[in-house]
Every structure is written in C-alpha cells, then in structure tokens.
Amino acid sequence: MDERTRMWAMVGVSAVVLLGIALMIVLVEGLNAWTGVMLLTIVALALVALALAVRTMREMRSGLPLKDERSIALAMRAGNRAFYVSMYLFLFMAIGFTALEDEGVVLSNSELLFVIVALMGSIHIVLSTYYNRKGRVAPE
C-alpha cells in the first residue's frame, strides 16, 4: 500500500469512527450540555485531522517523505511521554472525581472513557508538537 492510499484509508477510518462515536453519544445520551461538549470536541478533532491531511497532501505533492528516522523517533518519544503524563494525570483525576462525588457530581462510564481518550490524544498532540519544534530527539 503506497503512502497516499494509506493516508486516505486513515482519514476514512477516522471519519467513520468519529461519526460512529458522535451518533452513539446522541443516541445513548440524547442532546444536553455535556453531550454538546463531547460533540464539539469531536468536531474539533475532525478539523485538526482535516488540517493535518491537507498539509500531508501538500507535502506528498512536493515529493518529500511523510515519515523519516527523526519523525519516527519523535512519535515514539511523544507516545512514551504521553503515556506517563496521562498516568499521573489520571491519578489526580481519580482523586478529583472522588472529591467531586461528595459534591454530587458523578460522571458515567462512557463520559469518563471519553475524557480519558480525549486527554490522552490531546497530550500526545501537544507533546508531538513540542518535540517537533524542539528538534533534539537523541539522548542529552
């Protein structure tokens, strides 16, 4: 599979998954303030993905590869750091949600899962951007 086909396959799968999640949220939870926030997040994610796809297409047309040894090393480092940052964040969230439970604020399992997935993804995007701008990926 060439890079162009792989990219369009990823865009297609992502679109179907995001649309499926949005539909599921509306069908299961109905429309309210919280599902509105989730739908807005999904739209934001879709827009970021679209912007990335457009940039990627432009780079592909210029004849440059989409991935190389540095970008792969960056993605690995960002993924690794995102995992550890998320773990600590979830630990604090667990404490926070326990405190909020006493105040009567309780998130359902699907809402909690959504928060976790959205946070992990966002942390990964932020760290990838940070390492990409910083440049250095070899051990200090």
Partner 1 sequence: MRTRIKELRARYNMTQEDLAKLVGVRRETILFIEKGEYNPSLNLAHAIAKALKTSIDELFLFDD
Q: Which residues bind partner 1 (CB under 8 A)?
A: 59, 62-71, 132, 134-138
With H, G, I as helix, E, B as strand and everything else as coil, classify residue 86.
helix
Q: How far is the CB of 69 from partner 1 (least distance, A)?
A: 5
Q: How far apart are CA 91 and CA 108, in angstroms?
A: 18
Q: How far apart are CA 121 and CA 57, in angstroms?
A: 22
Backbone angles phi, psi at 67, to 5 degrees: -130, 145
Scored b (16 or more CB within 10 A) or e, 17-31 reads eeeebbeebeeeeee
Q: How far is the CB of 16 from partner 1 (least distance, A)?
A: 29
When the beta carbons of 21 and 78 are compared against partner 1, the nearer one is 78
When the beta carbons of 104 and 139 are compared against partner 1, the nearer one is 139
Q: How far is the CB of 13 from partner 1 (least distance, A)?
A: 24
When the beta carbons of 1 and 64 are compared against partner 1, the nearer one is 64
When the beta carbons of 114 and 131 are compared against partner 1, the nearer one is 131
When the beta carbons of 102 and 140 are compared against partner 1, the nearer one is 140
Q: How far is the CB of 136 from partner 1 (least distance, A)?
A: 5
Q: How far apart are CA 82 and CA 76, in angstroms?
A: 10
Burial of 131 (0-12, 13-18, 19+ CB in 10 A): buried
Q: How far is the CB of 67 from partner 1 (least distance, A)?
A: 8
